[in-house]
Amino acid sequence: MLDGILLGLQTAFSIQMLLMVIGGCLIGTFIGMLPGLGPMSIIAIMIPVAISMGDPAAAIILLAGVYYGAIFGGSTSSILLNAPGVAGTVATSFDGYPLAKKGQAGKALTVAAIASFCGGTIGAVLLMVFAPALSSVALLFHSAEYFALMVVGLSAIAAFAGTGQVAKALLMTVVGLMLGTVGEGTMFSLPRFTMGIMDLQSGLSFVTLAMAMFALPEALFLVLNPPKPGSGKSEEIKGLRITRQEAKSIAPVIGRQSIQGFFIGVLPGAGATIASFLGYAVERNIAPKGEQKEFGKGSIKGLAAPETANNAACTGSFVPLLTLGIPGSGTTAILLGALIALNVTPGPRLMIDEPQIFWAVIISMYIGNIVLLVLNLPLIPYIAKILTIPRNYLIPYILFFTLMGAYIGQNNATELLILVGLGVCATALKFADYPLAPLLIGFILGGMLEDNFARSMQLYDGVAFITARPMTMILLALAVSLILLPSIRSKQAKIKANRVADGD
């Protein structure tokens, strides 16, 4: 491991890489503060820039910097304006905004910065410990297990979608897989579902789909439902310091939430949003009675908990991506797509074949966290100025960067028309509360899933591969139970409720 760390330090401490981290964090913070633009949209917009750099290590370091920056930026607008830029920072506004209203905006931002820093750093240490261990286990996997593992990943994303959402998430995943079959596959050089259109021969572009699923609907939602003026005004930011007493009270919260957040982030489909809400709920429940009343009215514990948890979860979500090549969230799915475009396949072989990328990403997480703390703390009052950009200027630019992202990747104007078409479809799906991340994850994993399926079928001359190895069977059984579990649970709850009613 020490060799790896040294290799990572060597790669990440070059001037170019340091500039990437600093640039990524700053861009992420600036854009992440804009309400309605989440890390997924920002990363999607940044992908063409990252891909055109040509160096996979630099690209993923830039994108990871943007990711942390976006989460941090989201918390700034949550605290100052009560307008979370990212779903993962909604819980931050519960106590952050009341603190800002009390005139303690500076203190709130400092607590958020420290909590983010600790969550991210502890998360990176845990990642360093767990990723190599998991990746050595994953080396024992064959194509059949890979296929089964991807099925588990996809069903977990559907299963964690929430009550009443499992079928929708499942349908979206299948639609994503179907879109992934358009064009010529790697196993068969035969065009499929192209409807005779030449532009579809190489399949749909992942960047176009990512833009259409995330950036465009979010921008359209901003147009349709503009935030009401006067919903919050930036208070004057002063008094960045926190007292020793306050630091002592938030230290255990930060410790607990770093670990909890990290492990929630590792689970596929969970991610920063669930980690932050759960972190907030857990800390409120275990706080002493007197402090419990403070939650929601400006408790610094209530601010530190979600901030720590969401940053630790962001780091945690890199574990399945780097070790198994399976993204657990929409954001890591986009990162996976970018890596594949740069000819790097994340998975257990990544640590062996390209250790400099693996370790550089981990080391860059430390650098990213320090950069966020050092650069953002003194810059906070100036950064907050971006929130005053009028919407009339902002939206055309968001739409323009979305279009550019799709155009630069393919250099094809037809791609822009496909983008608008898919974007309108995605907006309709968003109206009907269909989750869009499973669609993109399905699209990205589709090719790999089919390749592993085809390879196993050929090796075992049919579907016998399912029963040939116990690991495959266990994983597939797990996938089925993950999908069935939510409906069984709700049935049980119904029966229980009926019994109580009968008892009355």
Contacts within 8 Å (CB) and 24+ apart, 219-223: 219/36, 219/395, 219/398, 219/399, 219/402, 220/423, 220/427, 221/36, 221/427, 221/430, 222/35, 222/36, 222/391, 222/395, 222/398, 223/395
Q: Which residues pair with 183 in a beta bridge?
A: 192
Residue 162 contacts other proteins per CB under 8 A: yes
The residue whose two tokens read 């024992």 is 140
Q: Kindly tell me which of 205 and 323 has the beta carbon lying closer to other proteins.
A: 205
97 touches 286 (CB < 8 A):
no
Cα angle 293, 296, 299; round to 5 = 75
Residue 417 contacts other proteins per CB under 8 A: yes
Q: Kindly tell me which of 327 and 423 has the beta carbon lying closer to other proteins.
A: 423
Residue 163 contacts other proteins per CB under 8 A: yes
Tell me which of 9, 18, 30, 181 binds other proteins, using CB under 8 A. 181
The residue whose two tokens read 């409807």 is 195
The residue whose two tokens read 């957040």 is 261
Question: Distances in Å between the alpha carbon of 163 and those of 31, 275, 282, 379?
Answer: 32, 17, 21, 41
| Least distance CB 310 / other proteins (angstroms) | 20
The residue whose two tokens read 């009339």 is 392
Residue 174 contacts other proteins per CB under 8 A: yes
Site mask for other proteins (CB under 8 A), range 211-250, x = bound: ---------xx-xxxx------------------------
Q: From CA 20, how far away is CA 100, in angstroms rounded? A: 32
What are 290's two structure tokens?
């007197």
Helices 244-266 & 300-316, crossing angle to 10 degrees? 30
Residue 416 contacts other proteins per CB under 8 A: yes
Q: Kindly tell me which of 160 and 434 has the beta carbon lying closer to other proteins.
A: 434
Residue 413 contacts other proteins per CB under 8 A: yes
Q: From CA 79, how far away is CA 485, in angstroms rounded? A: 37
| Least distance CB 38 / other proteins (angstroms) | 13
| Least distance CB 172 / other proteins (angstroms) | 9
* CA end-to-end span of the chain: 63
Q: Kindly tell me which of 174 and 370 has the beta carbon lying closer to other proteins.
A: 174
Footprint on residues 33-52 left by other proteins (CB under 8 A):
49, 52
What sign for the dihedral angle of Cα 425, 155, 433, 232? negative
Tell me which of 18, 282, 375, 420 binds other proteins, using CB under 8 A. 420
What are 498's two structure tokens?
């009926």
Residue 186 contacts other proteins per CB under 8 A: no
Site mask for other proteins (CB under 8 A), range 293-322, x = bound: ------------------------------
Footprint on residues 365-404 left by other proteins (CB under 8 A):
390-393, 395-397, 399-400, 403-404
Tell me which of 129, 198, 432, 501 binds other proteins, using CB under 8 A. 432
Tell me which of 9, 125, 175, 370 binds other proteins, using CB under 8 A. 175
Q: Closest Cα to residue 78, out of 302, 251, 335, 328?
A: 302
Collapsing DSSP to helix, strand or coil, 191 comes out as strand
Q: Kindly tell me which of 13 and 400 has the beta carbon lying closer to other proteins.
A: 400
Q: Kindly tell me which of 340 and 416 has the beta carbon lying closer to other proteins.
A: 416
Residue 343 contacts other proteins per CB under 8 A: no
Binding site for other proteins (CB under 8 A): 49, 52, 162-168, 170-171, 174-175, 177-178, 181, 185, 187-188, 190, 192-193, 220-221, 223-226, 390-393, 395-397, 399-400, 403-404, 407-408, 411, 413, 416-417, 419-420, 423-424, 428-429, 431-434, 450, 453-454, 457-458, 461-462, 487, 490
